[in-house]
Amino acid sequence: MKALNKTITKSLLGLFLASCAISASAQTATTASTPTKGSFTVGADLVSSYIWRGFTENKTPNIQPSATFTYGGLSIGAWGSGSFDGTYKEVDLSASYAFNDLFSLTVTDYNWAFKKSYFKYNNDSTDHIFEGTLSYAGVKEFPLSISVNTMFYGADKKLNSDSTKLKNAFSTYVELAYPIAKNAKLTIGGLYVSSKDGLNAYAVTKKGFNITNVALKVSKDLKFSESFSLPVYGIIGFNPETEDAFFVGGITF
């Protein structure tokens, strides 16, 4: 069993290295007539509180940096969140491939617990959660975007049938988003959990499909000069499952 867990761990960690190898191979195969260059981007958001999929992760202001390397359809990135008072931190890694303008596939390694060594990846005891995401971007005539996100490894668990062992819960979040105006987007998201023991990554105890995120995001660029503006946004939303509401303000740097 230990050997199997080690094999799975190596395979998951190898995903990111394999993504890099694909990028390097693609660069070698690119001809001079059709050059493709990789690019790095970095940014950060400042938010008044951290809400994720309708759930309150942290009630205090957070800084959320991100860095991404993109080569063709492949993107490898890191994203984080840290509260100003030092009580919360999160570090996520991801590898994504866009098949075309409509469909993309992403694998994300989440970690927000940090109760154990960051480098411990054993499926039965790790703080990490691996999730696969299939996304549809929508078309110009009907710009409805859809994503299906399923956790498949790590700290998303449920009890087995006789309540003696833990096994993967495969919690799945589905989200639909639609721009109702040039600067406004409506989002509706729902979560499926396969048990009511509350051991899943969301700590939800209601088995089945639950609407967890109904939100409206409105954005605006604050213009300070002809060459400088600052994107700001507000998100008001509700989580029917937890019977909670939230209003978040954010600035993008």
Span 215-253, pLDDT tens digits: 999 999 998 888 889 999 999 999 999 999 999 999 999
Give the integer Cα–Cα distance in Å for 122 and 120: 6
Nearest 5°: the CA angle 187, 151, 122 is 150
The separation between CA 98 and the C-alpha centre of its own chain, rounded to angstroms, equals 16
Give the integer Cα–Cα distance in Å for 214 and 125: 33
For residue 54, what is the DSSP state?
T
pLDDT confidence of residue 141: 95
**Domain residue ranges in the chain:** 2-252
2-252: CATH class: mainly beta
Give the integer Cα–Cα distance in Å for 65 and 217: 20
Tens of pLDDT, residue by residue over 161-209, are 887 789 999 999 999 999 999 999 999 999 999 999 999 999 999 999 9
